[in-house]
Amino acid sequence: MNAKNAISVAIITLLSVAQGLAQKLNSDSLTKPNSEIMTIVMTQPKVPIKTIGILVYDGYNTLDAMGPYHTLAEIRGAKTFFVAKQKGMVKNQRGMEMKVDKSFDDVKQLDILVIPGGAVETFMQTQDTVTLNWIKDIDKTTHYTTSVCTGSWILGATGLLKGKNATSNWYRAAEMMAMYGANFKKERWVKDGKYWTSAGVTAGMDMSLAIIDDMMGRKYTEGVMLDLEYDPKPPYQAGIPEKSDPIVADMMKKMYDMVMLPLIEKEKKNRQSKKKNLVFAQ
């Protein structure tokens, strides 16, 4: 491959808008980016990233998965795909069906693993030993093991966050991270070695950009941010309990409690009785 072609390939890979088309065009007739500039912006990643897998399961939260999927897929030279326990249709939390081509059996290695969250179905994953074991096996092969939102509960349930700094969705975050033996940090995203965890839903995009920045540096990251036109303008300074109207924050917590608290309390009791049994056995 000559230098001109190499640049074209780099362009095609970075630019999601270009996929499948650029090769059809007669690029000689067009304004092309200067190859020197390309070299400055198109840094090589710190570690070779070839495979990025987003774990999905019925009930995953749409943007927990789609934010990192869209963002991380901008890493050139890597394949970004979804993986589920079984191949076939997987539903998000609202019933939208997506075709997943790769099962746990198909995926034995990932450079980046992303575990999205959700609600009840996410909690169920924390009880699913097939899922937990697959994550632990994959983790042995990753450069980055990551979770978004309550996806940190699943990652926590594998035991991989024990003694590590981590975060999750704001809902009972300190309590949940403590239950899994992690040191809760109240941040948008938290990095501890190769373990990256993020706060709720949209925080997965900020974490993904931070991972890209970690690997590729500022210029490449700014390129991705332009491709996402990521210059957010939230309608209010809100989005976390501390910045929200206390009435709203309280109501949301109580609404989550209605659904989640019985499951959490039950799990806590299970863990306590296991601990007691262990002490007793000693």
Q: Which residues are catalytic?
A: 149
Closest CA to 167 of 180, 152, 154: 152
Other beta carbons less than 10 A from residue 41's beta carbon: 16
Question: Does 128 help bind its own copies (rule: CB under 8 A)?
Answer: no
Residue closer to its own copies by CB (options 179, 249) is 249
Q: Which of 87, 143, 185, 188 binds its own copies (CB under 8 A)?
A: 188
Looking at residues 158 to 187 of the shown chain, list those that interact with its own copies (rule: CB under 8 A).
169-170
| Smallest distance, its own copies to C-beta of residue 104, A | 19
Q: Which residues pair with 147 in a beta bridge?
A: 115, 197
CB closer to its own copies, 156 vs 204: 204
Answer for which of 115, 203, 215, 264 binds its own copies (CB under 8 A) is 203
Of the two residues 86 and 133, which places its CB atom closer to its own copies in the complex?
A: 86
The reply on whether position 238 binds its own copies by CB under 8 A is yes
In the complex, minimum distance from the CB of residue 280 to its own copies, in angstroms, rounded to a whole number:
30
- Please report whether residue 215 would count as binding its own copies according to CB under 8 A: no
CB 147 → its own copies: shortest distance, Å?
Answer: 14
- Sequence-distant (6+) residues with CB within 8 A of 23 are 8, 12
Site for its own copies in 4-63 (CB under 8 A): 11, 14-19, 21-22, 25, 27, 29-33, 37-38, 40-41, 61-63
Name which of residues 52 to 111 contact its own copies (CB under 8 A): 61-63, 66-67, 69-70, 73, 80, 82, 89, 93-94, 96-99
Tell me if 119 contacts its own copies by CB under 8 A.
yes
